[in-house]
Every structure is written in structure tokens, then in C-alpha cells.
Structure 1
């Protein structure tokens, strides 16, 4: 590449470095890109300087891929067809530069919504290779922009496997709670009175979303195998434990470990459009252990009959009544 050995060209090189730094930052605006288009077309030395500085900047000489053209001064008024064509080439070169060098700059945030019905599970592959698994009756809104990745858990439960990107933090909002992670995996379960956050890999930061200045937002760092319960009356951090059984829903399983029947019924109602009525108070605190298949409610009821002596009757309304089997 021919290099002009004068002060004007050195100034152009300095300006080119400044443009590269600005356009590759998170602060570049649409006005910056328009100003860059004008600067690139002002003089032939500007394009030459940009080519050379790109070669010095991370070996990114992408302007070499552009069609050969000698950009003229960017026309403010098209005095003739030749001048207009030269200016258009300069603008086209700038657009192609933005495509090759700065694919995330200036793009509008990309938003999508995903939801599951009762009893349904859904795996969502996100644009950055992160992954979300939605549990039953859950809903999320996903918004990706040039400076952050934002998930709004509107209802239910979701597990996140996050691809690391230090330049774009990954946020999950659940009510008044925000979970921030970079390269980790965690589960978020939104309840009526708060949120449960369980970390299965890496580290996350949990913070309180406070819209007023009434008090300082709470914050807590969570490591693998830790769980935090956020409630309006305070936060409760559980000691390190193996929560894999708690998250067995991802495989369609419910792992019961001495689970009282009343709790089992509540779980069944999460996954099926069926009401369960414990008609005999004496069986409410009976416990069951085992791996139950969430997609097979009839098999679960059969297991209750065999292991606990509990009889299940389906009423005309569709409600399943549970009572002690006849002796």
C-alpha cells in the first residue's frame, strides 16, 4: 500500500485510529456513523489511511475486500453525474465497512417471547448460543441489544445455560429480582411472593430492582450449588447442597424424597390441568419417595395406591379425589 509521507496523511492516520476505536466501542451512535461516512469521502487519503490502520488494528484489513474505487469528495450537491457516482461509492464503502467490522453497532434490539402451556417443556436456543429450558406454564421475553442480553421471566420457571460474553452482560429479571451472569448456569423460579434462584454452574450476582431511592438495593453473590430465596420480608440463602433432584423437571421427572402427599399434589397441579382433592385428612402427611414421570399422571396415582394405600377417584367435574383405600 502506498503511504503518503506528509503531515496531512499522518493526521488522517490518527483520525482513522480514532474512528476505529469509536466505532468498535459501545458508545458509537448513529450520528457517529454518519460523520464517519462524511469523513471517509472527504479525501482519497482518508481511505488509504483507514486501510493501513485497519491492518494495524487486530489484522482487520477488511477494506481490502471492497471494490476498487477512488472516492471523491462526498457531494453536498450533485454538480454532475461523475461526482455523484464517486460520492455514492464512498458511502457504499462505508456501509460495507459497517457490515464487516461492526455487525452489532446500530442494530435495533431483537426481542422475542416464548411460553409453555401447562405440562409443556420447551428448549430455546438464543442468538449467542446460550440456551433456556422453560418449565411448565412459563413465559419469558428475550431482548438482545448491542450492550446487553436481557430476559424477563414473566411467569413460571426457567433454567439458563449462558455463553460467556464479558462485553454484554446476561440479565434475568423476575419481579423485583435481577440475576446477572457471565458464562454460567442457573435456575430461576418465579413465585407469587418472590423468586428462587439456584446456581448449577459458575457464579451469579443477584440484586434487588428498586425503582425508588427509599433504600439501598440488596445484592448477593451465589456460587455453584447455592440457592437464594428472595421474599418481600427478606432473603434466605441456603447452605451449599446438591440441587440436581430439584431440577429433574428438565428431564420430565419429579424426584420425591419423603415428600408429603400434600406437596406432591401441589406439584401435580403445576404440570396438569387437573384439580386434586385430598378428601381424607389422615393421608395428607403420608410421604412418598421415588422418581416419578411427570408426563404419566396415571402411573403416579397407581404408585400412590400401591405404596401408600391411597385410592384415586375421578369425579364428574374432572377433579381427582384422594382418600384412604378400603381395607
Structure 2
């Protein structure tokens, strides 16, 4: 009788943890006899016991056929696991949890005008630009970064077994090993590749675009527009870190405002639609942002006005 109940409990455990069980039927079976609940609880306890690395690795070997496993009880309630497929379920779930468990994690944020370089445990480096934030999480399967806002430069050590993935809003950037930059700007995400190869995809993996050394790609930070290459110099993204220059290439007022806001305490904002306004090309010394703002009305048809605690950039009438 006990063996039959144990086998039923194993079947229910496999169904419920495999996502194919019926909750009402399972609850009715559990309530029908205290022995049912006791045997099911034994399987749950066994499942929780597989958190340790040696047990998980042993189960993974069994799952992949690397060695034969005797059919024996490894804990109360384990009888019949192999024959009922529960061993495979435990091995798969346990191995996935082991592979996806964090081996390294941290979050860093920079202030206005501040840059920060992080040396990562795999030999990669990440340089956060001003007023930027990134959260890092490494597992045995993947190296992941979430760029919440701002910009970051990456020099990624090659690891064919663990891709390096950056989540930047609606954009997903995947590499194995390369040097590149990611910048979140108003309405778009820009990726500039210094060397190596980078895959830029929109949310959901739609329309992946392969970018090679010297290329720049952009994708909308909202919506489902496909990524596209843009005619820009990829080295512009590294100019601030290497030469203290902020480079604008046919930049819109929203892009200029967002970029300069990372370098000065008082925020800079743009007024009016991005399209149809002036496009500005300039190289600005990071230490002379104020001088550039003062000169901007002489460079382009732009009004610079201070109000409501911010500095506003507005296209003049002849650009409307």
C-alpha cells in the first residue's frame, strides 16, 4: 500500500512541478488521505535538499547519461524516482538553478560629471559615464548587465561559454568579447563598436543587427522599430573617456540636452519635437560645458533660457 501511494505521490510531484498538473484534482488527492500528503511532502523535502552543488551535479550526470544510477532510495520518499521520471525533473530543475545562480552581482551609479571604471571578475572592464547606473549579475550560463540610464563603455573578455548581454530598455546587446559603448538617449539606444562584433536586437529579439568594428547602430527605446546602422564615427563614443571631449554629430536638441545634463548640476532640457529642429555637430571639452552653452545660439538657431530650475534649449522661429 505504501509503495502504491509513494508512486502516486511521485506522479503528482512530476505533474505539478512540470506544469501539467490540475490544481483541483491534486488538492482532492492530497485531502483524501493523510498518507498522500505525507508522501508528497517527502518529495518536496527531497527537492529542497538538492540545493547543494554535489547533489545537483550528480543529478545532472544522471540526466545526461554520463553514468548509470542505481535505482535506490536516496531519501525518504525517493523510491521509484528514476522509473517515474522524477529524477529527470529534479535533475533538470536543479541543474538549471545551479547554472543560473548568481556567482557575482553588484550595482553601481555615478554622479553628475563623474566616471567610474570597474574591473570585473572575468577580466572585463566597464566604465560608467556621468549620471549613469548599471546592475551586473554573472552566472555560470551568462554575464548580464542592466543599463538603467546613462552610458557605459565595455571591454569584454572573450568567453564562448558565457555571452555578455546588456539590457538597455528596449534594446538587447549580445557579445562574446569586444570593445563597445552603449548610450541611452531620449527615444533611442545607440551602440558604438570599437572592435569585435556586437548583436543589437529590439525588445523580444526582433530584427537582430550585427555590428562590426567601426559601426554604430541605433534602435528606438520604445516601440518595436528594428535596429539600423547610422553613419557615425564609432570612436566618438569613447572620446570623453580618452580625450575629455563630448562629440556631437548631427545631434538633435534632446540628445544635446540629455548628454550635457550628465555633466552639470542644473539639468538641460529641450523644448519642442526632436525632428525638424536644428542638427548640431560640435566637439565640446567636458570641462567647458558652460562655454559651449553660452556659444550655442551663435552656432545654431537655438535659444538658451533659464527657467523653472532648468536650462532650456529651444529651436528659434526660422527652424520651425
What TM-score do the two structures reach when normalised by structure 1? 0.54
Rg larger for:
1
Out of 294, 299, 303, the position equivalent to 2:286 is: 294
Residue of structure 2 equivalent to 1:218: 207
Out of 153, 164, 168, the position equivalent to 2:147 is: 153
CA contact (8 A) 2:257 2:313 kept: no
Out of 240, 252, 255, the position equivalent to 1:249 is: 240
CA contact (8 A) 2:170 2:203 kept: yes
CA contact (8 A) 2:201 2:226 kept: no
- Structure 2 residues not aligned, in runs of 5+: 1-51, 60-97, 315-320
Pairwise CA distance, 1:202: 0.9
CA contact (8 A) 1:255 1:292 kept: yes
Say if 1:218 and 1:295 are closer, same or farther in 2 by CA, change over 3 A: same
Residue of structure 2 equivalent to 1:238: 229
Once residues 141 and 118 of structure 1 are traced to their aligned partners in structure 2, the CA distance between those partners, rounded to angstroms, is 18
Pairwise CA distance, 1:223: 1.2
Out of 30, 46, 49, the position equivalent to 2:54 is: 30
Residue of structure 1 equivalent to 2:264: 272
Residue of structure 2 equivalent to 1:123: 117
RMSD: 4.1
| Helix, strand or coil at the partner of 1:128 | coil
What TM-score do the two structures reach when normalised by structure 2? 0.55
Matching of residues 81-100 of structure 1 within 5 Å = none
Say if 1:246 and 1:205 are closer, same or farther in 2 by CA, change over 3 A: closer
CA contact (8 A) 1:134 1:159 kept: yes
Is 1:228 aligned to 2:217, yes or no? yes
Deviations 1:264-302 (A, max 9, x none): 4453234223245899xxxx9788765322233333345
CA contact (8 A) 1:262 1:285 kept: no
Once residues 181 and 34 of structure 1 are traced to their aligned partners in structure 2, the CA distance between those partners, rounded to angstroms, is 31
Deviations 1:146-186 (A, max 9, x none): 22211111222111111111122111112233211112111
Say if 1:148 and 1:194 are closer, same or farther in 2 by CA, change over 3 A: same
Say if 1:163 and 1:300 are closer, same or farther in 2 by CA, change over 3 A: same
CA contact (8 A) 1:175 1:194 kept: no
Is 1:206 aligned to 2:200, yes or no? yes
Mean Cα deviation higher: 236-245 or 161-170: 236-245
Mean Cα deviation higher: 110-119 or 230-239: 230-239
Say if 1:300 and 1:165 are closer, same or farther in 2 by CA, change over 3 A: same
| Helix, strand or coil at the partner of 2:234 | coil
Say if 1:261 and 1:137 are closer, same or farther in 2 by CA, change over 3 A: closer
Q: Which structure features the higher share of helix residues?
A: 2
Once residues 135 and 255 of structure 2 are traced to their aligned partners in structure 1, the CA distance between those partners, rounded to angstroms, is 30
CA contact (8 A) 1:226 1:237 kept: no
Once residues 193 and 168 of structure 2 are traced to their aligned partners in structure 1, the CA distance between those partners, rounded to angstroms, is 15
Residue of structure 1 equivalent to 2:89: none
Pairwise CA distance, 1:134: 1.0
CA contact (8 A) 2:203 2:224 kept: no
- Structure 1 residues not aligned, in runs of 5+: 1-27, 36-103, 211-215
Is 1:184 aligned to 2:173, yes or no? no
Residues paired across the two proteins, number: 219
Pairwise CA distance, 1:303: 4.6
Say if 1:272 and 1:239 are closer, same or farther in 2 by CA, change over 3 A: closer
